[in-house]
Structure 1
Amino acid sequence: MFQLNDVKYKSIINTKQLTIPTDTVTAVTGPSGSGKSTLLRLLNYLATPESGTVSYQGKPYTDWEPTELRRKVMMLPQRPVLFGETVAENLQAGRLFSGREEASDEKLIAAAQQCMLDKKLRDPAENLSGGEQQRLSLARLLLAGPDVYLLDEPTSALDEDMEWNVMERFLAEARRSAKGVIFISHATAMADHFADRIVHSDSFTSVGGLKS
């Protein structure tokens, strides 16, 4: 689990105690600019608190080597990032970062299909639409196989029907693989439908904790 104790970060995060389990699906909700993305950055060690401690599985982040932690806890930003020229190179990038051997073409295709991306492996990634790049990024994350997925509005570029279908398929695979998921959602209905637990931004922008 993640544990934040007496954490303050600029004027954005201010919580006495916040516990987020990593054996389930948790949604983070709240208005724009309320610190949701900052919370994920703290959990991914991309930001460090000005005071207090952030821990993962009982180990403070100051005791973790950052790359080791990020191989266990991977974050997908809202704006997709491309690695390499082709769809295949982008899918393999997650495997390489996590220290795993390259996946077969069959596994690459299966991951893409899981995220409803119907593209050839040799297709140029830069030609993909924003929504296709988001699905490519999700498939890359599945192939990387961390213990916890941190997703910052991972389907925001998709229309509503596609958004729900992709999230349903991604979370089904995460649950099948016993992975934890923490995702930011702009849609309350999506959070209510998919999440086992919900954390609202007022629980970490003021003294508070986990909401079920």
Structure 2
Amino acid sequence: MPSPRFDITHFSLSRHGMPVLADVSFYVDPGEIVCLLGPSGGGKSSLLRCLNRLTEPPPQTIFLDNQDVTEMDVLALRRRVGMVFQQVALFPGTVADNVAYGPGLQAESLPPEEVSRLLALADLSAELAGRDSQELSGGQAQRVALARALATEPAAMLLDEPTSALDPAGRHELLALLASLRGQVTIFLSSHILADVERVCDTIGIIREGELVLV
């Protein structure tokens, strides 16, 4: 599935009647890696969630390949735009069970060799396929969640604070993995650590007092 272009146009968002983001406009070319940087509660995660309508955005503010996301079938949109949450929640069962979960929802089986390919793409050994998902380290769980999201062959990925629970080595490994996907998948990630993301992102958007500034 070709990676898409996103256009965000005059996007504003309020929470409990209070403005969070005001008149945000920018675009993302296919295959780029974009980081939204800013303090907790500043609107980074809220904007990410609007990109695939986990939070409903205002109409005519977010476009995926020139199509208003609010007019798209929401399930089809989420198949194209996957998300990995800050708090990784793996399902009970094996690593392979988790990786195969998304295709299973679409009545598609995932053969063992495809599970191995996805684990390798997430920089994990195929030997982990049979391991209990609850026995993984934080870094391993984060990468399994990424492999699970990639299993549905999304054109774009949203990653909310993907490095927040990782040690420095784990952060370096995950960011190197994301960099290896440049050009194949359009990637948005949020963070509050500039040093972590500046070396892998094509564009960095700093959210400050409700406004977004691209650097």
Q: TM-score w.r.t. structure 2 length?
A: 0.84
Picking from 37, 40, 47, the partner of 1:39 is 47
Picking from 197, 201, 206, the partner of 2:207 is 201
**Alpha carbons of 1:66 and 1:57: their partners in 2 closer, same or farther (altered >3 Å)?**
same
Deviation at 1:39, TM superposition (A): 0.7
Q: Within 2, Cα distance between the matches of 1:80 and 1:5?
A: 30
Q: Within 2, Cα distance between the matches of 1:25 and 1:50?
A: 24
- AA matched with 2:52: N
1:118-197 equivalent positions in 2, closer than 5 A: 118=125, 120-172=128-180, 174-175=181-182, 178-197=184-203
Give the unaligned 5+ runs of structure 2.
Answer: none
Contact 1:76–1:152 (8 Å) recurs in 2? yes
Q: Within 1, Cα distance between the matches of 2:92 and 2:179?
A: 26
- AA matched with 1:167: L
Picking from 28, 40, 65, the partner of 1:57 is 65
Over aligned residues, Cα RMSD in angstroms?
Answer: 2.3
How many residue pairs align between the two structures? 206
Task: Specify the SS of the correspondent of 2:23.
Answer: strand
Picking from 122, 127, 142, the partner of 1:115 is 122
Task: Specify the SS of the correspondent of 2:158.
Answer: strand
**Alpha carbons of 1:129 and 1:60: their partners in 2 closer, same or farther (altered >3 Å)?**
same
- Residues 1-53 of structure 1: per-residue CA shift (max 9 Å, x gap): 22233322212121252323343111111122211101101112111235762
Contact 2:139–2:170 (8 Å) recurs in 1? no
Q: Within 2, Cα distance between the matches of 1:16 and 1:114?
A: 33
**Alpha carbons of 1:96 and 1:200: their partners in 2 closer, same or farther (altered >3 Å)?**
farther
Say whether residues 1:15 and 2:6 are aligned partners.
no
- The answer to which of 10-19 and 142-151 deviates more is 10-19
**Alpha carbons of 1:107 and 1:167: their partners in 2 closer, same or farther (altered >3 Å)?**
farther
Identity across aligned pairs (percent)? 29
- AA matched with 1:89: D
- AA matched with 1:5: T
Contact 1:8–1:51 (8 Å) recurs in 2? no
Q: TM-score w.r.t. structure 1 length?
A: 0.85
Deviation at 1:100, TM superposition (A): 7.8
- The answer to which of 157-166 and 109-118 deviates more is 109-118
- The answer to which of 149-158 and 11-20 deviates more is 11-20
Aligned position for 2:100: 92
Q: Within 2, Cα distance between the matches of 1:51 and 1:14?
A: 15
- The answer to which of 105-114 and 182-191 deviates more is 105-114
- AA matched with 2:13: Y
Deviation at 1:84, TM superposition (A): 4.6
